[in-house]
Structure 1
Amino acid sequence: MMRTIMAIVAAGLAAVAVQAAGPGFDPRALKAVAGPPNEVMVLGTPHLSGWPKDFDAKALGPLIDRLAAWKPQSIAVESLSGLQCDALRRAPFRYAETVETYCWDATPARQATGLDVPAATAEVERRLAAWPERPTASDRRHMAALFLAAEDQGSALVQWLRLDGADRHAGDGLDTVLVARLETLRQRRNEEFLIAAPLAARLGLERLEPMDDHSADRPYRNAEEEKAAGAAIMKAWDNAATARRKAADAALQSGIKTGAGVLALYRAYNAPEQAQTIYDSDFGAALKEPSPERFGRGYAGYWEVRNLRMAANIRDVFAAAPGQRMLVIVGASHKFYLQAYLDMMHDVRLVDTDAVLR
């Protein structure tokens, strides 16, 4: 009996010790660096692809004006790099749906330039390393073609927008198919093409930084499992926080026909109190859903891995060129996770969006 009691007490003390243990190291407290710090502002955004077809992109003007006034030196966007898409294509058993959904097929650009994604990516880096102070229109058309071959459509559009209207024509690696593609991107309702690329062109930047990551994607084992997981997570999402979130979003969406209304929406999406609302309505609810398969916990695990890898991609840009100011434009549900992860890094300092958007 005494041995049993002692074993129970020891197990209890061990459990308390485990619960009380912390990481023992906090990178957030160690941010002393030589030279200017890396500054990052994470702008949470709705996905503009879901906005009404009659939305006038001119209403984004006041938002872009404020972002431009902050003068970011790089702009990261929620899209996959060509190199990741190239890697995902090599494992169709796991990533076929991901590639179909998130990767542009650069076959037209490969045919026009003769370069596949890795070769085009290498050529982009080589040319940018020796980029002239005053590139010609021919330089920019060729760079746009290379970016398309590298599956970096946002950066290709930046080069296209930096050309005078009369210089936006075929030539230097751009054929009529690629020109048509670039003109399509100019009008596409997507935050990368309507906000990030015009802002980069206005600031005199040469490219965007794709930082999304879908390497944590994995298909369900069969249709039955997919259906069951979808039902479990949808049930978890049916909660009071989701109802409040939808009501607030509907009210904000009603004002997006004007620049003032767009600004009001972005201020609300980036307000600190949104973090808890998003968690309660989505990931927190999923973590507590009671299916025997723990579908919600699998979903939340995927979400954390994706955000960690996105944060690593952002940090990688800073590591290559320390001491810069970066704007990250990302879906609003990612914003607060990215801020939390980035704030743990020694050489990253967060900038409050409220001060910029006010």
Structure 2
Amino acid sequence: MATKVLLLLACLAASSIAQVHATATEAAALSTESTKSALQQLSAKSKLQTQVMVLGSLHLSNIKQQLDSRSLSSILEPLSRYQPTAIAVESLRPQDIATMINGSGEYQTVLDHFVGQRFLALAIKEQQELRLSAQKALESLEPLLDETSLEPVQRARLIKLAVAAYHKEIALLHWHYLDKTAASPTISTELQHYLEQLAASNNEKNTLGNNLAMALKLKRIYPIDDHLDKDLYRPIEARLIESYNQSPHAAALAKSDYINKPQRLKTEALETGNWLPLFSWLNSQEYQRAVIDQEWSLFIDKDLTQDAALSRVALWEIRNLNMSSHIMRVVAANPGGRVLVIVGASHKVFLEQYLANMLGVKLIQPQQYFAAPKTSKGQSPQHLFSDKEQR
């Protein structure tokens, strides 16, 4: 009898503990929801909101056919109607390049792939010629960017300072602006050749970012990419790669419509000149849901080595959280403005999840501008990116 009583008391105690734990968990969840709701309410009260549009893109640098503002007008024109006051692209910040140069050896692969040894060598030459460190060059760059207008010689100096500061995106934008006949003698032949090659690149940073910035007469493009997680990457990849290569789920993903449909739409865009179907798909809720349900679910609940897979997810979130932080720096520099962020399409759903929680930020979807605008006379608006024959 005593034993039964003890067992009953033990069961009651366990039940009470479980109930207390459940109650505490529910209370914590309610507290979190309450805090989130309070943040949303506070954000809604903001007298000045900064709009942020995250445009998911394929990486266009893989396309061999030459792209330009005319061939991409079907996507550039709707984006121009958004009238962004700041454009951010998936490129490394000068400060992070300097950190990587002086940091872990693991970063050297990142620098080789995402910055390029040729650009780094040109940056060192400009630092030596200008007798400035990368940091001093970056500080000297800002006053020139604040100028209302620049003489060709001033713009040439701005370009040299941008290269010395590891700011490739600003150097390229102002190379597009530069009156080459008046100022190019002050820029080395080697640097001129490099910038000409960049200016002819199909990379969306150039074909979308620079063409749009020039049409809107913007002075800068903001780099917001991040790879500071890569000092942790190699050992995690080594633990993950075997199960990934043997995974039926990974093999199925590689053959799925999630992977293949964007490629089909890209081929159609190259044939027709209409890029809207591709970009509409990449920025649709359906595609963004597939990023989670098909790509990243592979690392959560499928057949990969679990600890390594979760570590890989953590690194991906580190990268996107850091990118969100860099985007908020752009927001801080452009309060009340309209920010356009051009990134690989799989980043979009993560960035928007984080940015949705930021005070004073209003997310804008590209689809709002992809529909053809109506004018009072039923005519198409003026095209910024088409020549006269195409109008």
TM value normalised by structure 2 = 0.82
Distance across 1 between alignment mates of 2:238 and 2:313: 17
- The question of whether the paired residues in 1 share the 8 Å contact of 2:282 and 2:288 is answered with no
Distance across 2 between alignment mates of 1:40 and 1:219: 30
- The question of whether the paired residues in 2 share the 8 Å contact of 1:233 and 1:296 is answered with no
Distance across 2 between alignment mates of 1:331 and 1:123: 32
Change (3 A) 1:335 1:242: farther
**Residue 36 of structure 1: CA displacement?**
3.5
What one-letter code is carried by the residue in structure 2 that aligns with 1:75? I
Q: Which residue of 2 aligns with 1:313?
A: 326
- The question of whether the paired residues in 2 share the 8 Å contact of 1:44 and 1:266 is answered with yes
**Residue 15 of structure 1: CA displacement?**
4.6
Change (3 A) 1:122 1:329: same
What one-letter code is carried by the residue in structure 1 that aligns with 2:22? V
Q: Which residue of 2 aligns with 1:63?
A: 75
Greater displacement, 341-350 / 111-120: 111-120
Q: Which residue of 2 aligns with 1:75?
A: 87
What one-letter code is carried by the residue in structure 2 that aligns with 1:4? A
Distance across 1 between alignment mates of 2:263 and 2:191: 37
Q: Which residue of 2 aligns with 1:147?
A: 162
**Residue 233 of structure 1: CA displacement?**
3.6
Q: Which residue of 1 aligns with 2:314?
A: 301
Distance across 2 between alignment mates of 1:45 and 1:18: 43
What one-letter code is carried by the residue in structure 2 that aligns with 1:306? R
RMSD in angstroms over aligned alpha carbons?
2.3
The equivalences for 1:108-127 within 5 A come to 108-127=125-144
- The question of whether the paired residues in 2 share the 8 Å contact of 1:214 and 1:306 is answered with yes
The equivalences for 1:157-306 within 5 A come to 157-164=172-179, 166-167=181-182, 169-171=184-186, 174-219=187-232, 226-234=237-245, 235=247, 236-239=249-252, 243-258=256-271, 260-292=273-305, 294-306=307-319
- The question of whether the paired residues in 1 share the 8 Å contact of 2:233 and 2:315 is answered with no
Change (3 A) 1:10 1:189: farther
- The question of whether the paired residues in 2 share the 8 Å contact of 1:237 and 1:281 is answered with no
What one-letter code is carried by the residue in structure 2 that aligns with 1:349? K
Change (3 A) 1:231 1:55: farther
Distance across 2 between alignment mates of 1:226 and 1:246: 22
- The question of whether the paired residues in 2 share the 8 Å contact of 1:45 and 1:332 is answered with yes
**Residue 240 of structure 1: CA displacement?**
5.6
Answer 1 or 2: which has greater helix percent. 2
Q: Which residue of 1 aligns with 2:368?
A: 355
Question: What SS is found at the alignment partner of 2:215?
Answer: helix
Q: Which residue of 2 aligns with 1:134?
A: 149
Distance across 2 between alignment mates of 1:318 and 1:135: 26
Change (3 A) 1:113 1:276: same
Q: Which residue of 2 aligns with 1:25?
A: 35
**Residue 288 of structure 1: CA displacement?**
1.7
Sequence identity, in percent? 26
Q: Which residue of 1 aligns with 2:15?
A: 9
- The question of whether the paired residues in 1 share the 8 Å contact of 2:67 and 2:207 is answered with no
Residue by residue over 1:26-50, the C-alpha shift from the partner in whole angstroms, topping out at 9 and shown as x without a partner, is: 1233224565320011100001122
Where does the alignment leave 5 or more consecutive residues of structure 2 unmatched? 1-6, 372-391
What one-letter code is carried by the residue in structure 1 that aligns with 2:170? S
TM value normalised by structure 1 = 0.89
Distance across 1 between alignment mates of 2:272 and 2:211: 16
Question: What SS is found at the alignment partner of 2:280?
Answer: helix
Question: What SS is found at the alignment partner of 1:322?
Answer: coil
Residue by residue over 1:68-120, the C-alpha shift from the partner in whole angstroms, topping out at 9 and shown as x without a partner, is: 22210000111111111111222224423222222341223323433232111
- The question of whether the paired residues in 1 share the 8 Å contact of 2:50 and 2:334 is answered with no
Q: Kindly tell me the number of residue pairs found equivalent between the two proteins.
A: 351
Change (3 A) 1:221 1:335: closer
What one-letter code is carried by the residue in structure 2 that aligns with 1:38? T
Change (3 A) 1:322 1:220: closer
Question: What SS is found at the alignment partner of 2:178?
Answer: coil
Indicate which of 65, 84, 89 corresponds to 1:54. 65
Question: What SS is found at the alignment partner of 1:134?
Answer: coil
Q: Which residue of 2 aligns with 1:87?
A: 99
Larger Rg: 2
Distance across 1 between alignment mates of 2:10 and 2:167: 64
Distance across 2 between alignment mates of 1:282 and 1:312: 24
Change (3 A) 1:168 1:177: same
Indicate which of 31, 53, 68 corresponds to 1:41. 53
